[in-house]
Amino acid sequence: MFRGAYAALDLGTNNCRLLIAKPSDDAFTIIDAFSRVVRLGEGLAQTGRLSDEAMDRTLGALRICADKLRRRRVTLARSVATEACRRAENGQEFIGRVRDETGIVLDIISAQEEAQLAVLGCHVLLEPGLGPAMIFDIGGGSTELVLIESTGAAPRILDWQSVPWGVVSLSEHCGDEQPGANARVARYAEMRRILAESLAGFAQRTSDYRANAGAPGPLRLLGTSGTVTTLASLHLELPSYDRRAVDGLIVPAQSMRAISERLSSLSIEERREVPCIGRERADLVVAGCAILEAILDLWPADQLGVADRGIREGILRSLIASHAEGGQRLPAVAAR
């Protein structure tokens, strides 16, 4: 078996994240990690381009990643970019600049592969049960929803949807927050309306699964995103974020809705004072709450599984699978 270090880098619209791992009996052991909010997609909704400031911020984070890759002597890595680079006119130009300045070769993946990797990275945390289940990933520039059925080591994808609304893109589309409680209520309602409209086709396609899924057991739902982990932290009333307490947690859906409603009613100054949110997420968390509530409307499970893992872990599992007989592959996608 390959015994060197593996690495997975996920460059999203809002975050740059790196995991470095070594294979172990139960998949892999993390030996180094890095995460930074870079807001690569800031302003993209207005201009269609990645801004110079956003690219410079992101390159600063990627240089740190490149240094970690060298110091850890990583010999097998995959680095992916998602919605911001998919959408931007200068996305490919930025990919070239990253390669020239850091040596990191980013692969702009499709929304379908993004969904597959997220499922592969976190599906082990799905509650046991029968019938279809929904897994979702709220990103910075897009949100992926995946309807799966469990089939051995890797789930089978029955249907999936990607919508171009993440915490950054939806926040920017709806404009800056205006003062006053009524304005906040109206902005939040508009966010939820946009998501409901964007998900209407997927809701229709999955209606039979939703109606019948309760027969073999309760609806199962698993979310991976900063929104979900942040709200789970607030549910636990943690003074600061603790991955060990959050990853794998099961939270009543009604609690997540109540927290979402409360956060959407607060001013940005008030949200900055809420533990586990702070300044970096204060302006974006409301959009995440609106997306989450739209998903709960579409797939009304009584409780929600929380995963602090996703694309990077999916990449690592894929890399390890390519060097280990019987390893996990990307989940199969059923024909629509």
pLDDT digits (tens, 9 = 90+) for 62-80: 999 999 999 999 989 999 9
Domain membership flag for residue 328: no
pLDDT one-digit tens code per residue, 192-217:
999 999 999 999 999 988 887 656 66
Q: pLDDT category, 330, cuts 50, 70, 90?
A: low
Q: Quick check: 291 and 138 in contact, CB under 8 A? A: yes
Three-class SS string for 211-267? HHHCCCCCCEEEEECHHHHHHHHHHHCCCCCCHHHHCCCEEEHHHHHHHHHHHHHCC
Query: Which distant-in-sequence residues (6+ apart) come within 8 Å of 234 by Cβ?
Result: 259, 274, 275, 276, 277
Among the candidates 52, 86, 109, a domain finishes at 109
Share of the chain above pLDDT 90, in %: 75
Q: 226 and 167: one domain? A: yes
Amino acid at 21: A
Domain membership flag for residue 131: yes
Domain membership flag for residue 88: yes
Give Cα separations from 113 to 82, 107, 192, 203 (angstroms). Answer: 10, 11, 26, 21
Which residues, listed in sequence order, are joined to residue 107 by a DSSP beta bridge? 80
Q: 163 and 261: one domain? A: yes
Residue 3 has a pLDDT of 63
Give Cα separations from 205 to 132, 148, 160, 192, 293 (angstroms). Answer: 13, 13, 10, 20, 19
Three-class SS string for 131-184? CCEEEEEECCCCEEEEEEECCCCCCEEEEEEEECCCHHHHHHHCCCCCCCHHHH
Q: 75 and 176: one domain? A: no
Q: Quick check: 297 and 303 in contact, CB under 8 A? A: no
Three-class SS string for 58-88? HHHHHHHHHHHHHHCCEEEEEEEECHHHHHC
The CATH number for 35's domain is 3.30.420.40
Q: 204 and 284: one domain? A: yes
Domain membership flag for residue 326: no
**Is the pLDDT score of 335 beyond 50?**
no
**Is the pLDDT score of 141 beyond 70?**
yes
Domain membership flag for residue 206: yes
Domain count, the chain: 2
Q: Quick check: 43 and 170 in contact, CB under 8 A? A: no
Q: 105 and 122: one domain? A: no
Say how far apart CA 14 and CA 172 lie, in whole Å: 13
**Residue 243 token pair:** 């991955």
Residue 326 has a pLDDT of 47
Q: Which residues of 75-92 are buried (b: 16+ CB within 10 A; e: fewer)?
A: eebbbbbbbbbbbbebbe
Mean pLDDT of the residues in the chain: 90
**Residue 139 token pair:** 């990103």
Residue 214 has a pLDDT of 58
Query: Which distant-in-sequence residues (6+ apart) come within 8 Å of 301 by Cβ?
Result: 134, 218, 219, 220, 221, 253
Q: 117 and 252: one domain? A: yes
**Is the pLDDT score of 61 beyond 90?**
yes
pLDDT one-digit tens code per residue, 212-226:
765 666 889 999 989
Domain membership flag for residue 200: yes
Q: pLDDT category, 325, cuts 50, 70, 90?
A: low
Domain that holds residue 27: 5-109
Q: Quick check: 254 and 196 in contact, CB under 8 A? A: no
Q: 42 and 152: one domain? A: no
Among the candidates 109, 143, 168, a domain finishes at 109
Q: 147 and 231: one domain? A: yes
pLDDT one-digit tens code per residue, 239-294:
999 999 999 999 999 999 999 999 999 999 999 999 889 787 899 999 999 999 99
Residue 213 has a pLDDT of 62
Q: 159 and 290: one domain? A: yes
The CATH number for 260's domain is 3.30.420.150
Helix (H) or strand (E) segment spanning residue 24: strand 15-24
Residue 129 has a pLDDT of 81
DSSP for 297-314 reads HHS--SEEEEES--HHHH
Global pTM reads: 0.89
Residue 48 has a pLDDT of 93
**Is the pLDDT score of 327 beyond 50?**
no
Residue 113 has a pLDDT of 93
Residue 273 has a pLDDT of 92
Q: Collapsing DSSP states into helix, strand and coil, what is residue 114? A: helix
pLDDT one-digit tens code per residue, 79-125:
999 999 999 999 999 999 999 999 999 999 999 999 999 999 999 89
